[in-house]
Amino acid sequence: MTEGLNLPEYYIPPEIEGTVAITTLDRIYNWGRRYSVWPMFFGLACCAIEMIATAGARFDMARFGMEIMRPSPRQCDLMIISGTVTKKLVPQIVRLYNQMPEPKYVLSMGACASGGGPFKRGYNVVAGIDKFLPVDVYVPGCPPTPQALLFGLMKIQEKIDQESISKVRWYSDEPDEGIPVPILGPDLIDPRDFPALLKKEQEKEKQA
Ligand code: SF4
């Protein structure tokens, strides 16, 4: 099966179509990865039920090569944030994301994951996982239907299609330190905000 692999400018005789392809390294690399995305097997709230339905026989994620949901982050390349993100859970989510090997993608499923949804004003809710993780695709809805999630998964595939080995971040010389794990105290603190918080406190002390 070589669908989408052959470069359009090269003619392949009909008798060997589907067996032979003339392509580029980028195209074959992306072609292999787009059909073998393994999502992480975890859910956060009601959106997770729709995600589970998507994996069932009726909607059949296996058509996209994504049916192997892995319970270990070390074997996943897609994190689906399916539900309300509470402050208590963010350190665990970031830690799991850091444990996933590159290349890795994040899909934010539903209103809660993307912006807090109906619980946005809750003292314990994070108004969007994109405050902590680099989200690749947002799927709107409360909850999004399985069809909507499938559409989002196809968008991940399209994103993979456009990548180039020479430009992707996981082959760059820059060391990837991962995302600092937030600290949960009386409130959630992102270590990346430390300099700004320190400055604010110093200004307060000066005014006192
Ligand atoms: S977006 Fe709606 S369905 Fe999804 S977790 Fe939030 S409240 Fe539940």
Share of the chain above pLDDT 70, in %: 99
117 Ramachandran zone, left/alpha/beta (phi>0; psi -120 to 50): left
**pLDDT tens, position by position, 110-151:** 999 999 999 999 999 999 999 999 999 999 999 999 999 999
CA 60–ligand 1 middle distance (angstroms): 22
Is 45's pLDDT higher than 70?
yes
Assigned domain for 91 exists: yes
pTM for this model (two decimals): 0.88
pLDDT value, residue 1: 59
The verdict on the CB of residue 160 being under 6 Å from ligand 1 is no
> CA of 91: how far to CAs of 21, 45, 88, 184, 204, in Å?
45, 17, 7, 7, 29
> 67 lies in a domain?
yes
Sheet order of strands, 137-139 included: 78-82, 105-109, 137-139
How far, in Å, is the centroid of ligand 1 from the Cα of 188? 22
Determine the atom of ligand 1 nearest the C-alpha atom of 141. 1
| Nearest protein Cα to ligand 1, atom 5 | 83
Handedness of CA 75, 80, 86, 90 (dihedral sign): positive
Query: Which atom number of ligand 1 is nearest to the Cα of residue 143?
Result: 3
| Count of the separate structural domains present in the chain | 1
Residue 97 lies in a domain: yes
Residue 48 lies in a domain: yes
Q: Is the CB of 45 under 6 A from ligand 1?
A: yes
Instruction: Name the residue at shortest CA distance from atom 2 of ligand 1.
Output: 142
**pLDDT at residue 126, as a whole number:** 94
CB of residue 112 inside a 6 A radius of ligand 1: yes
Q: Which residue carries 């110093």 as its tokens? A: 202
From ligand 1's centre to the CA of 143, what distance in Å?
Answer: 5
The two three-digit tokens of residue 33, written as one number: 């990865």
Residue 95: what pLDDT? 96
**Cβ atoms of residues 115 and 128 within 8 Å:** yes
Residue 202 lies in a domain: no
How many angstroms does the Cα of residue 47 sit away from the middle of ligand 1? 5
b/e map of 21-60 (b: 16 or more CB within 10 Å)? beeeebbebbbebbeebbbbbbbbbebbebbeebbeeebe
- Report the pLDDT averaged over residues 155-161: 94
Task: Residue 2: name the closest of 17, 15, 24 by CA.
Answer: 17
CATH of the domain at 49: 3.40.50.12280
Q: Is the CB of 111 under 6 A from ligand 1?
A: yes
The answer to whether residue 44 is domain-embedded is yes
The band of 2, judged by pLDDT with boundaries at 50, 70 and 90, is: low
81 in Cβ contact with 121 (< 8 Å): no
Does a structural domain hold residue 10? no
Domain that holds residue 140: 35-182
Testing ligand 1's pocket by substitution, the residue of 49, 86, 142, 145 carrying the most ligand atoms inside 8 A of its CB is: 142
Mean pLDDT, range 148-161, rounded to an integer: 95
In a domain, 25, yes or no: no
Q: Answer for the pair 142, 118: CB distance below 8 angstroms, yes or no.
A: yes
